[in-house]
Structure 1
Amino acid sequence: MTLFFAALALDIRQDMRPGGPLSRRREATLPLIGALGGMLAPALIAFLCGSLISPRPLLSGWAVPTATDAAFTVPILALIPGLPASLRAFIMALAIFDDLGAILILALFYGHMPHLLWLGLSSAPFLGLLTLSWCGKSALWLSLPLTLFLWFTLFHAGVEPTLAGVVFGLCCPPTTGLRLAHMLAVPVGLVVLPLFALSSTGIDLRLCTASVLLSAPFLGAALGLWLGKPLGISGAVWLATRNKAALPTLRGRALIGLSMVCGIGFTMSLLITSLAYHNPTALMEGRCGVLVGSCLSALTGWIVLRNAFPPNAKTSS
């Protein structure tokens, strides 16, 4: 998945160039604002479900619906040919911020203390990549070994190593990044994402009964992803832009549809579920909630965006 996040960061880097859809500061900060709102609202819904529905407080799953799975959100957007490039860039940046937030939540609330020595060593390749970016160097023979070393140190530090791909993509010079993005498109789409999807499934649907639909882990995950994500993202973006200029197409059905698609939690949410619930029954209920919430988000988001941007619509930047 490091390759996927590197490709995603390379695309965002291109969009941040002068004249790109994320070149202005306001458009570049909107995804961050939307990601924050898209984490707070689902967390609140899951917290309330765990407090009010369960016979006894079951609050450990509050973070399950906070994650957006960029690996599945981006392919859904590819099914909307009329989607403007500016909105595609917005949602890709939001998905990266969201995934980084989920990684931070894992580290602070569900993980263990990182190994400080390895974490300190990771600063050397990180600063090296930043220096190359600042100097405008495009020598892959320097940046690729530094990225591999960063991945290695993060892995041993107990921190999500896919961050190395994000750092590489954002630090890569635009000219080199454009070539690399084209090179990574085919292997990421045909190999990385299918393997990622297959390895992420672990739900035994035979154990899903009617009582599961009324359980706190199921409702917290399903409602958090399907309702919390669009409420949080669209609400935060609306508050941030109601009195200021924003992306002209980032309103109405477009904003709601994009926010719904961000409710696809899947892999990261399943990982948080496995760490939040130690009881097998609660674990299965939470996993089913993630699956149902993600599927509903993908379906409803695709329908809204398809109506907002029909196939004959022209794609603009």
Structure 2
Amino acid sequence: MGLPRKSLISLDTTPYYHCVSRCVRRAFLCGQDERTGQSFEHRRQWIEDRLLELGQIFALDICGYAVMSNHYHVVLHINRDQASRWDTLEVVERWHRLFKGSALSRRFARGEHLAPAELAQLTEVAECWRERLADISWFMRYLNESIARDANREDGCSGHFWESRFRSQALLDERALATCLAYVDLNPIRAKMAKTPEASDHTSIQRRISAAKDGRQPQQLLPFAGNPSESIPAGLPFRLQDYLELVDWSGRCLRDDKRGAIDSGLPPILERLQIDPRHWLYLNRNFESRFKSLVGTAHSVRSSCERLGKRWVQGIQDCERYLSPPIP
């Protein structure tokens, strides 16, 4: 029996998680419904805007995303240090951007004087809100519920909009993180919705490429921090240029009209991560289907299983084959 999600999302394991939500209806989440001819393309912008907005409220950094026709992907980084630095007023103000709060919190936000007992009560509640603002389940819950309300209102109906609770995968090391980020960014190319990363609308890679042309990184996304020596850097542990080259190379190789031999000029990031290029391209087509809740080298997965009290994880053989470095 699988473990509950709260036991699989653990900072002791990793701060990085890949989440996916799928639409339950025949009517598209976005795009063109071929059965009715109705277009829902504008909803793509709903999701992208809401996703980036929530990234500025929660203590969760958005590493990557892609909004597809009937589902979306997002890679999140839990920024617990950021949440711990917030004072009570900032926690309350951030929570009020999502919910009404309480009469006591609204008085506090207006600057009204609170008695010591009231302040103690508010502090206790704010600590609960602080935890929720650094919680992936609360992030996904608010995002999905708000999109579902807007879609139901537009469709003139009620009921479930999403297939089920979101699916999540813990990304345990750099190999898993890089593979997942590229898998997410290349979704439109695999689905034949775009021919190049820069033409992939409503994706993080398009946003990163647009900002890179001006010599910067987008403020709404977790920046690339280079190749730092520390295990948990203040940003994604890759160089931006290396990653953009990797996605561009991968996108070209994934195209149906590019099935020839793999180019000998491999992006250097593959060499640093010690990933076989053929394995890399296979994973960029099959990342979701090959791995379940824990993704990384076989050693990383086994270590995480021990910490989580989990005896076995589905996909461990694929972690051994595709993501573990070769034995010298």
Q: TM-score, normalised by structure 2?
A: 0.25
Q: Compare CA radii of gyration and give the structure with the larger one.
A: 2
Q: Which has the higher strand share?
A: 2
Q: TM-score, normalised by structure 1?
A: 0.26
Q: Which has the higher helix share?
A: 1
